[in-house]
Amino acid sequence: MTLKELKPGQSARIESVDARQPGVVRLMVLGLIEGVEVQYQNSAIGGDPMELSVFGTAISVRKQQADCFKVAPLLSNV
Amino acid sequence: MSEATTAYVKVDSIGIRHRARRAVAVIGNPNSGKSTLFNRLTGLRQTTGNYPGVTVEKHSGIAQLQHSALELVDLPGIYCLGGFSTDEQIAVDVILGRIEGTHRPDGLLFVLDATHLYQGLYLLQQLMEMRIPVVIAMTMTDVATSSGIDISIEVLQRHLGGMPVVPVIAKTGRGLDNLKEALERFDEAEIPADPESWPELSQTADELAAAAGGTIPRIDVIQALLHPESETLDNVRLALGPERLSEARDRLFGAEPPQACEARHRYTWVRGVLRESQRQAPLLDRFGAKALRWFNRPWPATLMFFAVMALVFQAVFSWAAPLMEGIDAAATGLSGWIGSHLPEGALSSFITDGVIAGVGSVLVFLPQILILFLFIIILEDSGFLARAAFLMDRVMRGVGLSGQSVIPMLSSFACAVPAIMATRVIPNRRDRIATILAAPFMTCSARLPVYALLIAAFVPEQDVGWFNLQGLVLLGLYLLGILGGLITAFLLKRSALRGPKPHFALALPEFRWPNPQTVSIKLLDRARVFLRRAGTVIFAVAVLVWALAFFPRSESVQQESFVAKAQAEETLQGEALAEALQRIENEAAAEQLSQSLLGRAGQFVEPVFRPLGWDWRVSAAVIAGFPAREVVVAVMGTIYAVGAEAEEASLAGKLRSATWPDGRTVFTLPMVLGLLIFYAWCLQCAATIAVIRRETNSWRWPIFAWTYMTVLGYSGAFLVYQLGSLV
């Protein structure tokens, strides 16, 4: 499962990142790395880009890049 | 933008007690409260200038401490020293003293947002490797506390090698005295050791620096390792040999991009530090947070965005009206008083028709421009513009750009000059240039006077549903500008600036109430810029245009009107006589004007603009407006004050009654619409041209922009007038 498939409100832990895909390094610099928990907050119309929160910071991620992050969903209040 | 801020320096407060003033660079993440803190520490003792020899703006101020004064240099808010964008490059160059003619700062004031320690500590690690003293101001501690974040400063400080960490609340000034004390003693502070996040990197850097025999600063070695593509670090490559570097890179990063490895190491360390120093209590879902989250859902947020923009444009038009009428009445009153106290002639005409009619007609728009700037500043400060970037990313993708271009484009509604400088956050040069060339299409505050004048004169004031028709026309003009900009970006990205699709990674600040001090400092700055322009450039142009329109006085015209008046007095009486006298005077004035230098020059260029339906007066005003478009209103004010329409009190009325020599109305609907389109698309602003030159570092782009926009504006006006006249 990748970040792209999360539903609004759902949380997940990042398991692996494909850093070689274009535009991914910039997201890693903002803190999206392995082991970190993220929550899908909102999106723009059409679901793209997505707004994810990491340690309380909202980061906007396009679906194309979101697909490069493998995640394990966390059981929580969806 | 604001070199005039120096006018506010109080000489006694600069602190001449210390001879050589030490310089401290202020750095931190975007939205960390950095500029609020900077304003708190320096007050109005700020200046904006340029670094010598380079094209980078330097924003600095003086902080008065207990026993000494410090020069604080404000740096752009960034997330890393990655060299992704121009902003990041500027920060690195300033801190490392790479900018010629400036000194390396003696220390850093790092602004650490307590609610975003995660990203803040990342940047801080990179700064620690610079090996200069750092004082940390921890901002937003009140927000952190109220959202349940509990931070142990002692634990944090221990992990940071004992660097001073001072909590401050920039809004209220709490903790500011402690911060000043820490700044006072910053040079006693030990130079921080490298963070323990990546010992292999520190070790490799030490080895390579030693191998270069001390000729290369260690930080340059680190930067060269992490940024293989950077051109500024060729010296490292030369000193060490490319093989040695690439071997070290292979060992450190393997096949991964260096910055991905860097992010993994550094953020792993940050998470360890946070685990020990920060306790996050479960967030209570307060009403405000819940409501905001609801509003941030896709459709409500997008509708809100358009509603807010519509409100801004309505407010600009309707709120400013009473103030504008006040200024207008004052100008008319003053002009009438002077007219009745001075003998008729050149001096009286100079003051009333030249100075008051010219400068006054521009000054009238001060309220509108300030209201517009107030809104844009508030939208920027509250985090709204970043949200807009997020919501509009999809649209911008359609023209080959990303949401990151939205912020410069929206702030271009106020003024293209700061907007073009705001493109520095855009990482890719092609995307940045495309944005720079699209920004001047956005309706800036200087276009507003022209729009406002023509709309007020030719669009009836009536309501259409909830909206006012004049407001709707104005909205249409804004849309026209946006359309022009987007199409331009689209075409450029398909041709000269073809390149990979830009990515979009942006941290979205949460909604924050704007700080009144920050807002008022920015607003005051804009008011000063506007008034200075009205007092210098516009004043000079108004005087020049008046002189060109007034001289030479034709004796024969004077004579003829004298004869005609005498005749009328003999044959007519009462009201008929007054009317005839007025008509004769008007005809004489029109005749004088068309024989003046300006009249002759205008008639010379008129053929060029004839296909647009402009008479020589409009043509002359438009040409005078090329250095600064708001001048047009001043020029029209002067021309029409001298000419036959002088008896109409308002400039709008004068325009309405302007006619061709054969009696047809000049300002017909197609002509006015064409003129508006010309204004929407034409690049009539020397300041914008200069800033495009500066930011793109070549003459190619400003020349292209000017030619392209002028041709576009002319063609648009031509088509509308010609097609409109057929109907």
Q: Which residues of A touch B427 (CB under 8 A)?
A: 26
Low-confidence ranges of chain B (pLDDT < 50): 1-19, 52-55
* Integer-rounded Cα radius of gyration of chain A: 11
Report yes or no on A17 lying in a domain: yes
Same domain for B180 and B211? no
* CA-based max dimension of chain A: 33
CATH code (residue B26): 3.40.50.300
pLDDT of residue B3: 36
Per the CB < 8 Å rule, is B260 touching A65? no
Tell me the three state secondary structure of residue B68: coil
Report the gap between the CA of B501 and the closest CA in chain A (Å). Answer: 10
Report yes or no on B605 lying in a domain: no
ipTM reported for the complex, 2 dp? 0.95
Per the CB < 8 Å rule, is A44 touching B506? no
Report yes or no on A56 lying in a domain: yes
Same domain for B76 and B176? yes
Q: What are the structure tokens assigned to B320, written together?
A: 């400013």
Q: Which residues of A touch B263 (CB under 8 A)?
A: 25, 28-29, 31, 33
Report yes or no on A34 lying in a domain: yes
Domain count, chain A: 1
Q: State whether the Cα torsion B320-B326-B331-B335 is positive or negative.
A: positive
Q: State whether the Cα torsion B596-B602-B605-B610 is positive or negative.
A: negative
What does the alpha-carbon distance between residue B621 and residue B593 come to, in Å, rounded to a whole number?
14
Report yes or no on B635 lying in a domain: no
Q: CB under 8 Å to B504, separation ≥6 — which residues? A: A23, A49, A60, A62, B393, B402, B403, B404
What does the alpha-carbon distance between residue B165 and residue B114 come to, in Å, rounded to a whole number?
11
Same domain for B168 and B272? no
Q: Which of B151, B169, B188 is the last residue of a domain?
A: B188
pLDDT of residue B288: 61
Q: Which residues of A touch B509 (CB under 8 A)?
A: 58
Report yes or no on B340 lying in a domain: no
B593, B643 in Cβ contact below 8 A?
Answer: yes
Closest partner residue to B267 (CB to CB) among A20, A31, A56 is: A31
Residue B288: half-sphere exposure toward Cβ, Cα within 13 Å: 7
pLDDT of residue B18: 40
Same domain for B11 and B157? yes
Count the helices and strands in chain A (H runs, E runs): 2, 5
What does the alpha-carbon distance between residue B279 and residue B88 come to, in Å, rounded to a whole number?
31
Mutate to test the interface with B, among A7, A15, A20, A30 (most CBs of B within 10 A): A30
Q: Which of B159, B188, B217 is the last residue of a domain?
A: B188
Expressed as residue numbers, the domain containing A57 is 3-73
H/E stretch holding B280 reads strand B278-280
Closest partner residue to B80 (CB to CB) among A19, A29, A45 is: A29
> Cα-flanking dihedrals φ and ψ of residue B601, to 5°?
-65, -40
Question: Model-level pTM?
Answer: 0.81
Same domain for B19 and B136? yes
For residue B477, CA distances in Å to A55, B266, B406, B660 come to 43, 49, 18, 27
- With the CA atoms of B664, B670, B671 and B676 taken in that order, what torsion angle do they form, in degrees rounded to the nearest 10? 150
Which residue on chain A is closest to B260 by alpha carbon?
A25
Counted across chains A and B, CB pairs separated by less than 8 A come out at 125
* Integer-rounded Cα radius of gyration of chain B: 30
Report yes or no on B694 lying in a domain: no
pLDDT of residue B613: 92
Which residue on chain A is closest to B507 by alpha carbon?
A59
Same domain for B32 and B157? yes
Q: What are the structure tokens assigned to A55, written together?
A: 């340690």
What does the alpha-carbon distance between residue B238 and residue B83 come to, in Å, rounded to a whole number?
20
Closest partner residue to B263 (CB to CB) among A33, A47, A59 is: A33
For residue B598, CA distances in Å to A9, B234, B371, B663 come to 68, 58, 35, 21
pLDDT of residue B13: 39
Domain count, chain B: 2
Which residue on chain B is closest to A65 by alpha carbon?
B503
Taking each helix axis from N to C terminus, what angle separates B669-681 and B700-726, rounded to the nearest 10 degrees?
Answer: 170
Report the gap between the CA of A50 and the closest CA in chain B (Å). Answer: 9
Strand-strand pairing, B57-64 and B46-50: antiparallel
What does the alpha-carbon distance between residue B336 and residue B647 come to, in Å, rounded to a whole number?
12
Report yes or no on A63 lying in a domain: yes
Q: Is B384 exposed, middle or buried (0-12, 13-18, 19+ CB in 10 A)?
A: buried
Same domain for B29 and B162? yes
pLDDT of residue B177: 93
Closest CA to B492 of B539, B535, B451, B432: B432
Report yes or no on B270 lying in a domain: yes
Report yes or no on B40 lying in a domain: yes
Expressed as residue numbers, the domain containing B268 is 199-280
Per the CB < 8 Å rule, is B116 touching A55? yes
What are the pLDDT digits (tens) for A5-24? 999 889 999 999 999 998 89
∠ CA(B495), CA(B497), CA(B503), 5° rounding? 120
For residue B433, CA distances in Å to B93, B230, B252, B430, B505 come to 22, 20, 35, 5, 19
Report yes or no on A16 lying in a domain: yes
What does the alpha-carbon distance between residue B191 and residue B107 come to, in Å, rounded to a whole number?
9
Report the gap between the CA of A68 and the closest CA in chain B (Å). Answer: 13
Tell me the three state secondary structure of residue B150: strand
CATH code (residue A42): 2.30.30.90
Residue B696: half-sphere exposure toward Cβ, Cα within 13 Å: 23
pLDDT of residue B47: 65
Q: Which of B161, B188, B215 is the last residue of a domain?
A: B188
Q: CB under 8 Å to B717, separation ≥6 — which residues? A: B612, B674, B675, B677, B678
Report yes or no on A78 lying in a domain: no
Q: Which residues of B touch A40 (CB under 8 A)?
A: none
- Residue carrying structure tokens 């410069």: B408
Same domain for B155 and B29? yes
Report yes or no on A64 lying in a domain: yes
pLDDT of residue B6: 32
Bridge partner residues of B69 (DSSP)? B64
Same domain for B146 and B12? yes
Closest CA to B528 of B76, B48, B206: B48
Report the gap between the CA of A57 and the closest CA in chain B (Å). Answer: 6
pLDDT of residue B283: 56
Which residue on chain A is closest to B295 by alpha carbon?
A42
What does the alpha-carbon distance between residue B277 and residue B271 come to, in Å, rounded to a whole number?
10
Report yes or no on B61 lying in a domain: yes
Same domain for B210 and B173? no
What are the pLDDT digits (tens) for B409-457? 988 888 888 888 888 888 888 999 999 999 999 998 888 888 888 988 8
What does the alpha-carbon distance between residue B528 and residue B521 come to, in Å, rounded to a whole number?
11
For residue B662, CA distances in Å to B154, B269, B593, B652, B659 come to 86, 82, 16, 21, 8
Closest partner residue to B390 (CB to CB) among A22, A34, A44 is: A44
Closest partner residue to B507 (CB to CB) among A30, A42, A62 is: A30
What are the pLDDT digits (tens) for B111-146? 999 999 999 999 999 998 888 899 999 999 988 888
Report yes or no on B335 lying in a domain: no
